[in-house]
Amino acid sequence: MSLSNKEFNVSALIDEKKHLFTSMSDKIWENPELHFEEKYAVSLMEEALLEQGFHVEKNVANLETAIMGSFGNSPTVIAFLGEYDALPFLSQEGGKTEFSPIEEGGSGHGCGHNLLGVGAFAAAVAAKAYVEETNAPFTIRFYGCPAEENGSGKAHMTKHGVFDDVDLAISWHPNYMNTTMNMRTLANYSAVFKFTGKSAHAAASPHLGRSALDAVELMNVGVNYLREHIIQEARVHYAVLHTGGTSPNVVQPYAEVMYLIRAPKKKEVLDIYKRIQKIAQGAALMTETTVEESFEGTASDLIPNSTLANVMQAQLEATKPLQFNEQELEFAEKIFETLDEESKASAYVNLSLEQKNILGDKRLSNLVLPMSPEMMLYGSTDVGDVSWVTPTVQCFTAGLVLGTPLHTWQVVAVGNTSIAHKGMLYAAEIMAKTAIHCMNNPEVIEEAKLELNTRLNGEQYISLIPTE
């Protein structure tokens, strides 16, 4: 027996359990944990998965903070991907309209992963309920995936074969618009370059010193000159992690810098990385220091899937839109006023005149935007690795104030409010309905697989994670 989304009331089921979902999200928001340290979040997920009748597997892919909940024994597997890692230096009080850290230098959920993980879990709960009610021949899985921001947990999980038997993967991300993510992303690779030199008195015997900090600076200069000679779509970022001390009277014997390299394809990333390695070696040669590397993280480019994107967009267009009350709109207006003019303007760039008129002066969007033509998002996500081995689809839903850049205190300030909760529950409904449509129309899954195979054109998934 199969039921349509209308006959099986996804919205009512999620609404019935909304206090569980919003409470989980708020608890994760209150306990922000960085990459591969999400012990509180994963324990909360384990408890909730067991309570909702999932079989739980911990330490997935040998990652302490990765978890999988599964229901059903069918060989056809539909997976929901969740995240729960936070960002450093983004501590912020919730519900405040000015910068107000809870803890100076503390962490915060500046990308909304407290919402992302629980929203995916809520969708899995709804899809599981559908399978129970209809005896549909599908297995439902929820994957709790660590370290999306730094470390690329899903890349490790994909390399480990965790998604090899998955037939369809679904996820989402908080945003200030509602639409399907019909886009590609950049592949990336991150490594730390550690220079070791020799300390000396910078005045009495500078000739005896070998400055590791000089090596870092020379490396950075070299990479900045390299930018002219790499493909236009590539991005190279760096952060100096260690300067060797705070005294200018000492030749710094140790320094390190982290590099993040992005490009549309993994081969292009590797080509740029090899050139940056040579620059690091050159900097060490010029300063008579030594350099070592340590791997930090990597992500594959995202392979979109039009078959699934069309299904998800249809669910967005058929579902009752978000509703925000006057109090939420007033709060959103105050957050909007904290944004710079460029961010404010960016919120309206892709809107038609009609859409702008519908929104008026409201700073929260309940519009469902038409799915854009396939485009490049100049960022990266470890969902990309999953998309190489199984058809994958994602949506944006509006749990943020219009124009809000991710990785900012404003995201954290909204992240435990009713605005964020509504966006999360709406996303859960869209994801669950997408899964149910595919269960009722299994030919869609086969078509999505065929599309993935066509896009890959025989190219096999290769992880950039070093073997060691």
pLDDT tens sequence across 123-179? 999 999 999 999 999 999 999 999 999 889 999 999 999 999 999 999 999 999 999
* Distance separating alpha carbons of residues 139 and 130, to the nearest angstrom: 11
R_g of the chain computed on alpha carbons: 23
Q: Measured between alpha carbons, how far is 83 from 25 in angstroms, rounded to an integer?
A: 11
Residues, the chain: 468
Domains, the chain, ordered by start: 10-184+301-456 (3.40.630.10), 187-299 (3.30.70.360)
Number of Cβ atoms within 10 Å of the Cβ of 98: 11
Measuring CA to CA, how many Å separate 290 from each of 152, 252, 273, 277, 377? 28, 13, 18, 13, 37
Q: Which residue type is seen at 190?
A: S
Chain segment 32-44, per-residue pLDDT in tens: 999 999 999 999 9
Q: In sequence order, what DSSP letters do the residues of 355-380 get, joined into one string?
A: HHHHHTT-SS---BPPPPPSEEESS-
Helix axes 18-30, 113-134, angle to 10 degrees: 150
Amino acid in the structure at residue 222: G
Supply the DSSP symbol for 31. S
Distance of CA 357 to the CA centre of its chain: 32
| 217-228 average pLDDT score | 98
Q: Could you please report the per-residue DSSP string of 302-314? A: P---HHHHHHHHH
pTM of the model: 0.94
Residue 309 one-letter amino acid = A
Residue 1: per-residue pLDDT: 61
Instruction: Please give the pLDDT value at position 150.
Output: 85
The pLDDT value recorded for residue 153 is 95
Per-residue CA distances from 183 to 250, 328, 395 (Å): 50, 30, 10
